Structures are given as C-alpha cells and as structure tokens.
C-alpha cells in the first residue's frame, strides 16, 4: 500500500502507511527506507535522514538506505557525509558507475567544491 502511495505521489499517505507498517514490523529496513523516500519527497530531510540511518542499522547492505541517506545529507548541506554514502553505493554496485546512482558521486563533489569555494 505504501508503495502505491509513492507511485501515486501521495507522499503524506505513504508516510502514514509506512509508519503503521513499522509499528507492526520494526525490524524491516525496507519500511524505514521507503518512509525515508517519502520524507525526502516532502522535503522533511531530517526525518528522511533518521529513517535512512535506521534502515542501515537494520541492514548494512541495503543500498537504497545509503542512497537515501546521501540524498538527505545533500539536502542538508552535509556534502562529506553524502559523498561517503554515495561511495558505499558505488562499491555496492561493484565499483561500476553505469547505474545512475554512480553519477551522483560526481555531482556531490562538484556541488561541494562550489559551496566551499564560495561560488554557490
């Protein structure tokens, strides 16, 4: 049901549905990861970061958790932390950057350099 809400871009409903699912199964990294996505889409970056981090505590191999935590950190201006997580995604994909996630590493470095040099 939560996935259907995300597909329909009804992110507030997705947050509620995944919250209910987490109450029933608090050990599911996927539920936390998906609620993190819903929070990202509603620009609740702190909550998204917390859920992505919890998902990774539950399953350290959950690549979407690293990606969503990186996206949260990017939105919060925490570029070094984002870069570390994007690097974990790249490694999880076997070091290949053919997947769109791998391209994010380059974007993080570019944005981070602009911000720190005062260009941004």
Q: How many residues does the chain have?
A: 120
pLDDT digits (tens, 9 = 90+) for 79-88: 889 989 988 8
pLDDT digits (tens, 9 = 90+) for 5-30: 788 888 999 999 999 999 999 999 99
- Nearest-angstrom CA–CA distance, 117 and 20: 44
Minimal CA–CA distance to 53: which of 74, 76, 36, 78? 36
CATH architecture of structural domain 2-117: Alpha Horseshoe (1.25)
Tell me the domain boundaries of the chain: 2-117
* pLDDT value at residue 119: 41
The pair of structure tokens assigned to 55 is 């998902």
The pair of structure tokens assigned to 114 is 């602009």
Task: Write down the residue that tokens 């998902």 correspond to.
Answer: 55
């Amino acid at each position: 049901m939560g996935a259907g809400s995300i597909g329909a871009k009804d992110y507030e409903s997705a947050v509620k549905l995944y919250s209910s699912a987490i109450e029933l199964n608090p050990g599911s990294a996927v539920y936390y990861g998906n609620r993190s996505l819903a929070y990202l889409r509603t620009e609740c970056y702190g909550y998204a970061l917390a859920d992505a981090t919890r998902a990774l505590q539950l399953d350290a191999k959950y690549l979407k958790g690293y990606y969503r935590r990186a996206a949260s950190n990017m939105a919060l201006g925490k570029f070094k932390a984002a870069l570390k997580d994007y690097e974990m995604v790249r490694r999880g994909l076997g070091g290949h950057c053919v997947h769109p996630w791998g391209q994010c590493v380059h974007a993080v470095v570019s944005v981070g350099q602009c911000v720190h040099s005062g260009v941004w």
